[in-house]
Structure 1
Amino acid sequence: MKKLFIVALLVVGMTSFAQEKQGRMERTSMEKMTPEQRNQLQLKKMTLALDLNASQQKEMSKIIAEQSTTREARIAERKATKEATKKQLTSEERFAKRNQMLDDQIVMKERMKKILSQDQFKKWDEMKGKKHYRMNQRRAQHNGRKAANRVDKK
């Protein structure tokens, strides 16, 4: 009787894990959007979240387009260097890249301060922090480690 009960539990457990997940498309099966479409969607999300006016939308569309082109260039560069050589970056190269990234973030923050009102900027900064936190959570989960706790700024 015990063995029959254990076998029944195993069968039920295995069939529940064998169920196909629905409602979630595979990344490979989804068509990629064009950069213009991605830019438009990002602008509309920001417009809804920050309540941007027409002039702010115009400025933000320029910034989003610039970011998109630089991101695509960085991705292409990273792929080319990855395929060409399998070496690790030296500490000087890593420092230069991180320094450049931080400089870009400072410039972006200054540009956003000029475009957005104080309340909008505050909300944008908060949204950016939440997005960064979620990305760190995913990265930590992917690498099999525990992520750091989020500290709210006040």
Structure 2
Amino acid sequence: MKKLFIAALLFVGIVSFAQDVNQKPAHHQKENLTPEQRNEKQLQKLTSELSLDKKQQEQVKQLLAERSAKAEKFKASRKDIKTKPTDAEKEAFKKQMETEKAANDAKMKSILNADQYTKWTALKKDHRRKHDHKSSQERDQAHLQKLTTDLSLNADQQKQVAALLSERSTKMEMLKKNRKDSTAKPTDAEKAAMKKQMKEDHKATDAKMKSILNADQYKKWTAIQKEHKDKMKDHRKEKM
């Protein structure tokens, strides 16, 4: 359910606009802004970045309002649905997202002049690149800080764990890129091979952590891992 709603936000362009104005979606959530307040902040940022005139501001404001309305409508329609979407529904939804994204791009192109549109597309591309890279680093840093606190890691252990987290993130980014570049759905054999590879990577990570930690730390780490795994299982059940 949660994943589908996030996809819906992409579908209606809210996340796209948040990226366009160089803001993180979570930022709005922390401030607990209303859709109108969120749109106003996005409009102000776009006005500053692209030097929008009064007419353009009104047009972009209307575009943001339309997408907010679609997001709220979709949220309401999915609120009480507990079943997971089928593969066919996911595929149809993906195509609809792509159609909406193209339509959004066309509308922005009609509103902006050539220089503004070039800058807008460049800002989106640059922000996505920085956001993906920064998110990976921030995630690893936050994870390291938590492990340092939970396991009382010393300076040498922190360096080793940091290297391990970075190595894992690099592998994940490579996998993500490979899947992004592939237009075909993975076959059953490919899924099985991927699952096997993930298990092997998990075992390798476990072995490396065991070599870094002392006996008490490793015991606590495995307990934390189990607790996290159980929470993830419960979370998946709630979404079904």
Counterpart selection for 2:27 from 5, 30, 47: 30
C-alpha RMSD of the superposition: 2.0
Give the equivalent residue in structure 2 for 1:152: none
Give the equivalent residue in structure 1 for 2:199: 102
Give me the identity figure in percent.
32
- 1:77 and 2:74 aligned: no
1:49-95 deviation per Cα after TM superposition (whole angstroms, max 9, x unaligned): 000011100100100111111122222323333xx12x3x3332222
- 1:93 and 2:190 aligned: yes
Aligned length in residues: 113
Letter in 2 for 1:44: Q
In structure 2, C-alpha distance between the alignment counterparts of 1:79 and 1:141, rounded to whole Å: 28
1:19-54 deviation per Cα after TM superposition (whole angstroms, max 9, x unaligned): xxxxxxxx7243958132222211111000000011
TM-score (norm 2): 0.43
Give the equivalent residue in structure 2 for 1:131: 228
Structure 1 residues 72 and 113: alpha-carbon distance in aligned structure 2, compared to 1, 3 A threshold: same
Structure 1 residues 136 and 78: alpha-carbon distance in aligned structure 2, compared to 1, 3 A threshold: farther
Consecutive unaligned residues in structure 1, runs of 5 or more: 1-26, 145-154
Question: 1:126 Cα shift?
Answer: 0.7
Matches within 5 A, 1:41-80: 41-80=142-181
- 1:117 and 2:114 aligned: no
- 1:141 and 2:138 aligned: no
Letter in 2 for 1:69: T
In structure 2, C-alpha distance between the alignment counterparts of 1:70 and 1:77, rounded to whole Å: 11
Letter in 1 for 2:229: H
Letter in 2 for 1:28: P
TM-score (norm 1): 0.66
In structure 2, C-alpha distance between the alignment counterparts of 1:77 and 1:37, rounded to whole Å: 22
More helix by share: 2
Consecutive unaligned residues in structure 2, runs of 5 or more: 1-23, 29-130
In structure 1, C-alpha distance between the alignment counterparts of 2:205 and 2:170, rounded to whole Å: 15
Give the equivalent residue in structure 2 for 1:5: none
Give the equivalent residue in structure 1 for 2:13: none
In structure 2, C-alpha distance between the alignment counterparts of 1:121 and 1:49, rounded to whole Å: 11
